[in-house]
Amino acid sequence: MGNLATIDIVIFLIYFIVVAGYGIWIYNRKKSLATGSQDYFLAEGSLTWWAIGASLIASNISAEQFIGMSGEGFFVGIAVAAYEWIAAIALIIIAIWFIPIYLKNKIYTMPQFLERRYNKSVSLIMAVFWLFLYVIVNLTSILYLGALAIDTLLGGENLHIIMIGLLLMALLIGLGGMKVIGYTDVIQVAVLIIGGFATVYMALQIVDQRINGATIGSAWTGFNTLLSEAPEHFKLILDKPTMTTTTLAMPENLSVQKYMILPGLAMYFAGQWIVHLNYWGCNQYITQRALGADLKTARTGILFAGFLKLFMPIIVMLPGIAAYVLHREGHLEGFNGIKDGAYSAILGFLPSGLKGLAVAALTAAIVASLAGKVNSISTIFTLDIYKKYFKTDATEIQLVRTGRWAIIIAMFVALAFTWTDVLGIGGEGGFTFIQKYTGFISPGVFAMFLLGMFWKRTTGTAALVGVVLGFLLAIFFNNFAVDIFGKETWLYTAFTYEKFENGVVNTITEIPFLINMGWSFFITVAVMILISLAGPKINPKAFDIDRSMFKVDPRTMVLIVITLLFLTAIYVKFW
């Protein structure tokens, strides 16, 4: 296995045997309790709060975090951690206000929510949207970035073999259904946290050794070295550039490129919240873990995931900053400075044994996300398309069999798109690729869900217009707004900058995509409200909301307060 020593291979094989063996044991143990398709797709009633929380983290933390977010840490710094820390607040909102509505109305899939609240047309359109997004954007990026990282660590000669290996591991877990995914995710998240923290600890020791000349490196001293050597990388809120036109030769060009990804304080009033609330609250891939549980279990599991989110930037972002300082000082031999290679470059320093643990952690994150993603693809296709439009009288056995075939086909499609990276994931930057293209549908989807839950007047026509309009507005702001309205308006500021990609310098003029997302959302909401005002004061399909649904018990409130205090301290320190 390339650069891995025997002890690394042994550690990796132990990880694989434990996860596979535990998955098989869970499958056989729970098989007698299965109730059919609901049990297969949702693990109905069998996941504990800690399994739900761990599964949420394991499914969320994947290649786009380990590779993509570490790469943005290398390029931008701690500001990218907003994607993890604001998620903790989003999960509190989801646990208190979103999940009670889903559970009270027995919602199992997101298209089912749309059909119950609006109509079949909205449900079908979004089912197709989600399938396209999950397969073409999410599944491909997880597979490509993960395989690329592991391949780089092993010497760079087995990319396609690694892709196939990752898919086979995910297939082994995914075919067992949500119970197997949920409980094996407990092991996966333990491996990725232990391996991730071990990697960070060693990375900080290496910084102390290489930068300060220490014989035995200190992780704490290494962290303080990062603070002193790269203070600009420890700023959560980026300043807005004063120049809107820059070139590669200008120092301001780098500031513009960073601001395009994370547009300072403005992103907290625009796309950042839409990203999180849509991802964590309106996303089959995530909500599916909690939809089969009772309210107390689901709520506790989601809040547990939110608490774990506070620590994720240490694992997935800090290695990128360490790579930045080491690379700048000439201590990352063979690293070409491309941000998505930062994490692999750090892993190359690890000693035998720890390198195997790090590869196991990375593999755990990738496999867990792949398995969870294909299960969601399978659930939406089987329950919201196949059962409703192809075989309405399908038996439970036929539904499960169809779901398994959907998993296999989705994996083949993802492999076809990633075999030669036809989507250009590597050139865009993994984390940015996912956030940017997910952002095309997020504004309309979140507007439709938010108004559908909390405003009884929202109509099906408004929802249909909203999902299409949100998509069109996102395209408009991304591709046409600057040509029509210019670079500087009261809505936005566009920037012209040069970016070096694939050996070519490209001149780009665009608005930060998080700002695009924000305006797309607000305009979509306004239009949906105007359309709904023409309908009845209370839509007959509106959900009944009981205020008691949103009450939380004292122990839950304590967990919420602890999470918010941690976040407040972080933002006060690194503002």
For the segment 128-151, what is each residue's pLDDT rounded down to a tens digit?
888 888 888 788 888 887 787 778
For 493-515, what is the mean pLDDT?
82
Q: How far apart are alpha carbons 134 and 32 in whole angstroms?
A: 31
φ, ψ of residue 181 in degrees (nearest 5):
-60, -50
Q: How far apart are alpha carbons 284 and 495 in whole angstroms?
A: 35
Q: Are 88 and 309 in contact (CB under 8 A)?
A: yes
Q: What is the Cα 53 distance to its own chain's centre?
A: 15
pLDDT tens-digit map of 385-420? 888 888 888 887 888 888 888 888 888 888 888 877
Q: How far apart are alpha carbons 307 and 249 in whole angstroms?
A: 43
To the nearest 10°, the Cα dihedral for 40, 41, 43, 49?
160
For 463-475, what is the mean pLDDT?
91
Residue 3 exposed, middle or buried by CB count within 10 Å (0-12, 13-18, 19+): middle
Residue recorded with tokens 């704490």: 220
For 289-295, what is the mean pLDDT?
77
pLDDT of residue 197: 85
Q: Are 71 and 148 in contact (CB under 8 A)?
A: no
pLDDT band at 36 (very low <50, low <70, confident <90, very high): low
The two most distant CA atoms of the chain are separated, in Å, by 75
DSSP 8-state assignment for residue 283: -
pLDDT of residue 108: 80
For 434-454, what is the mean pLDDT?
83
pLDDT of residue 476: 92
CATH topology of domain 6-574: Sodium/glucose cotransporter (1.20.1730)
Examine the pLDDT at 303 and tell me if it is beyond 70.
Answer: yes
The strand pairing partners of 253, in sequence order, are none
Q: Are 192 and 55 in contact (CB under 8 A)?
A: no
The strand pairing partners of 506, in sequence order, are 499
**Mean pLDDT in the chain?**
82
For residue 193, the one-letter residue type is I
pLDDT tens-digit map of 106-115? 888 888 888 8
pLDDT tens-digit map of 325-350? 888 888 877 777 777 778 878 877 77
Closest CA to 428 of 94, 50, 144, 135: 144
Residue recorded with tokens 């972080």: 570
pLDDT of residue 522: 94
Q: What angle do CA 505, 510, 513 make, to 5 degrees?
A: 115
Q: How far apart are alpha carbons 345 and 340 in whole angstroms?
A: 10
For residue 385, the one-letter residue type is I
Q: How far apart are alpha carbons 549 and 560 in whole angstroms?
A: 17
* Range list of H helices, 439-532: 442-454, 460-479, 481-485, 513-532
| DSSP string covering 237-262 | SPPPPS-SB--TTSTHHHHHHHHHHS
For 475-501, what is the mean pLDDT?
86
pLDDT of residue 33: 45
φ, ψ of residue 107 in degrees (nearest 5):
-85, 125
Closest CA to 192 of 361, 328, 412: 361
Closest CA to 548 of 92, 102, 106, 97: 97
φ, ψ of residue 508 in degrees (nearest 5):
-125, 135
Tokens of 482: 């600057």
Indicate the domain borders of the chain: 6-574
Residue recorded with tokens 């989110």: 309
pLDDT of residue 532: 94
Tokens of 574: 């690194």
pLDDT of residue 435: 65
pLDDT tens-digit map of 4-34? 678 888 887 887 787 777 777 766 765 544 4
